Amino acid sequence: MNNSFLFFLIFVLLSLNSHSQDTIFVSPFIIVDGEKIITSNIPQLDVIEFIDNAERRRFQKLKRRVLKVYPYALQTKLKVDSLNFALDSLGKKRKKRKHIRSVAKIIKKQYATALKNLSMKEGRILIKLIYRETGISTYRLLREYRGWWSATMWQTFAKMYDHDLKSTFDPINNREDMFIDKILDQAKKEGTFTNL
């Protein structure tokens, strides 16, 4: 008697389930060489494999630092692009130097306080991000716009604090740079920065 009741219950549940589905959902598909391949929009997941928990904690700290300094790298890119555009329209070197000095004063007035409050590690990340955004090292930017003496002086000063203004961004060979790239890709997907 118990088996017949169980059979009856399963039969009722199956019949209810089959009657409740009035519509048939067909996934979009494409035909390749006569074969139907079902397509769907599956969100891409970026899986980051950490060596240990210490690296996971370092990643979280790096994420906070990158998100803090990345707007400055974006601003640097915009300023360099607008400065290059303005310099192309000026003819003489004297006018170009005068324009560069005036832009430098404006930038110093806008960003000096905020940049002074960055930690040493945030400064190192900013140097890498400037290279990532502009394709030019910070040293080369200084040398191009402020001259050899200024670039050398700032490079010497940076070396005293174990920084290098000639740093590049290499996410293929440098694990930290790879993490920075992942952080920025994720921020772009989430819409953290509107300029990404």
**What is the spatial distance between Cα 7 and Cα 163, in angstroms, rounded to a whole number?**
75
Q: Report the half-sphere exposure of 142 (CA within 13 A, side-chain side).
A: 18
Q: Are 60 and 131 members of one domain?
A: yes
- Let me know if residue 140 belongs to a domain: yes
Q: Are 7 and 67 members of one domain?
A: no
Please report how the helices 53-89 and 93-116 are oriented relative to each other, as an axis angle in degrees rounded to 10. 150
pLDDT tens digits, 97-118: 887 788 778 787 777 788 788 8
Q: Are 25 and 65 members of one domain?
A: no
Q: Is the pLDDT of residue 51 over 80?
A: yes
Give the residue from 139, 142, 70 showing the smallest Cα distance to 107: 142
SS3 50: coil
Q: Are 74 and 16 members of one domain?
A: no
Q: Are 169 and 125 members of one domain?
A: yes
Domain housing 19: 2-38
**What is the spatial distance between Cα 136 and Cα 97, in angstroms, rounded to a whole number?**
20
Q: Are 8 and 86 members of one domain?
A: no
**What is the spatial distance between Cα 92 and Cα 73, in angstroms, rounded to a whole number?**
29
CB atoms within 10 A of CB 172: 7
- Let me know if residue 43 belongs to a domain: no
Q: Are 67 and 122 members of one domain?
A: yes
What average pLDDT does the structure give for the chain?
A: 80
Q: Are 115 and 184 members of one domain?
A: yes
Helix (H) or strand (E) segment spanning residue 59:
helix 53-89
**What is the spatial distance between Cα 59 and Cα 61, in angstroms, rounded to a whole number?**
5
Q: Are 116 and 164 members of one domain?
A: yes
- The pTM of this model reads 0.70
Give the residue from 131, 136, 119, 118 showing the smallest Cα distance to 171: 131
Q: Are 119 and 64 members of one domain?
A: yes
- Let me know if residue 71 belongs to a domain: yes
DSSP string of 114-141, one letter each residue? HHHTS-HHHHHHHHHHHHHHHSS-HHHH
Percentage of residues of the chain with pLDDT beyond 90: 22
Strands annotated E in the chain: 29-32, 35-38
pLDDT tens digits, 136-174: 888 988 888 888 998 899 889 888 888 898 999 999 999
